[in-house]
Structure 1
Amino acid sequence: MDIAKNRTDAVELELPSPPVPVANYVPVRQVGNLIFTAGQTPTRDGVLTVSGKLGRELSIEQGQEASATAALNCLSALQQHLGSLDRIVSIVSLTGYVASAEGFGDQPAVINGASLVLEKAFGDKGRHARAAVGVAELPGLAPVEISMIVEV
């Protein structure tokens, strides 16, 4: 699915198939005009595209790519829920978790991969508040996990 079909012709980001929950949760939950996404990792068709910890097995650039993929998974879940990404008024907040080796402190640089995807897709509406948090481990040994809050 191509975001360009749902946003503008200038955007050329391809959405993956919507992620399928691997446990007992829903991909999105809407409360009034806010939608909360479940955390998404860098998977394609249920398979992790990369694993490892930032600052040990993975570079910042690999982490940025992984966070961009996870953000696209969030957008895919939103697309499935909303029917069209055009209904999004703004990306309110993004939380990024980074599986970090001891001493790694560049979590914000890693999560920039996700932030840049959202800005590219939505322009100023994609600019958001954000947290980038280093953690010891993530599900399935994923390097990053992204969740967001959007306004519709």
Structure 2
Amino acid sequence: MSEDMRPSWTQRIQEIGVSLPAVAAPVAAYVPAIRTGSLVYTSGQVPIVDGALAATGKVGGDVSPEEAKQHARTCALNALAAVDALVGLDSVVRIVKVVGFVASADGFTGQPAVINGASELFGEIFGEAGQHARSAVGVSELPLGAPVEVEIIVEVD
């Protein structure tokens, strides 16, 4: 789709009633997002809200799968904020790949449903351009004790 034919993603976000947060400050030696060619890679984003981690714990234990799905949505918004700060949200051509990590209690196998919180948000905002390849991985621990972390690869013009 040509740039002049593509909808305004900034306008679409407003239409669905969400807003991008401020870019979360890195907690170690990295940048929130980097561009190479026509791709933007974000660093892993945890559910930071207003500068603080929204939850800690393991999914299927301290954190319910439903709560974790909402946290994955927050992670996705944080990732989009990093993209927006680097290149502008309206330069997004498509979401290429989503990688989600879920801090999982023993025996928890619902990682794909948790990461749907991010995937469904990308569909709401970008429609067909939000369809992406994806990995949903269960891990024993995440930075700061976060229950979920999401990183994305985005094609931009």
TM-score w.r.t. the length of structure 2 is 0.90
| Number of the residue aligned with 1:100 | 104
Letter in 2 for 1:133: V
Matched, 1:43 2:43: no
Distance 1:105 1:151 in 2: 30
Alignment equivalent of 2:86, drawn from 64, 71, 81: 81
Matched, 1:55 2:60: yes
After superposition, what is the alpha-carbon deviation per residue over 1:66-86, rounded to whole angstroms, capped at 9, x for unaligned? 10001000001111111x311
Matched, 1:18 2:20: no
Structure 2 counterpart SS, 1:63: helix
After superposition, what is the alpha-carbon deviation per residue over 1:55-106, rounded to whole angstroms, capped at 9, x for unaligned? 1111111010010001000001111111x31110000000000000010000
Deviation at 1:5, TM superposition (A): 7.4
Matched, 1:122 2:102: no
Letter in 2 for 1:46: G
Matched, 1:28 2:26: no
Distance 1:115 1:123 in 2: 11
Deviation at 1:45, TM superposition (A): 2.8
Distance 2:77 2:102 in 1: 17
TM-score w.r.t. the length of structure 1 is 0.93
List 4+ stretches of structure 1 deviating above 6 A. none
Distance 2:38 2:81 in 1: 18
Distance change in 2, residues 1:86/1:5 (3 Å):
closer
Q: CA RMSD in A?
A: 1.3
Structure 2 counterpart SS, 1:131: strand
Provide structure 2 residue ranges, at least 5 long, that are not aligned to the other structure.
1-7
Larger deviation, residues 116-125 vs 87-96: 116-125
Distance 2:10 2:53 in 1: 26
| Number of the residue aligned with 2:135 | 131
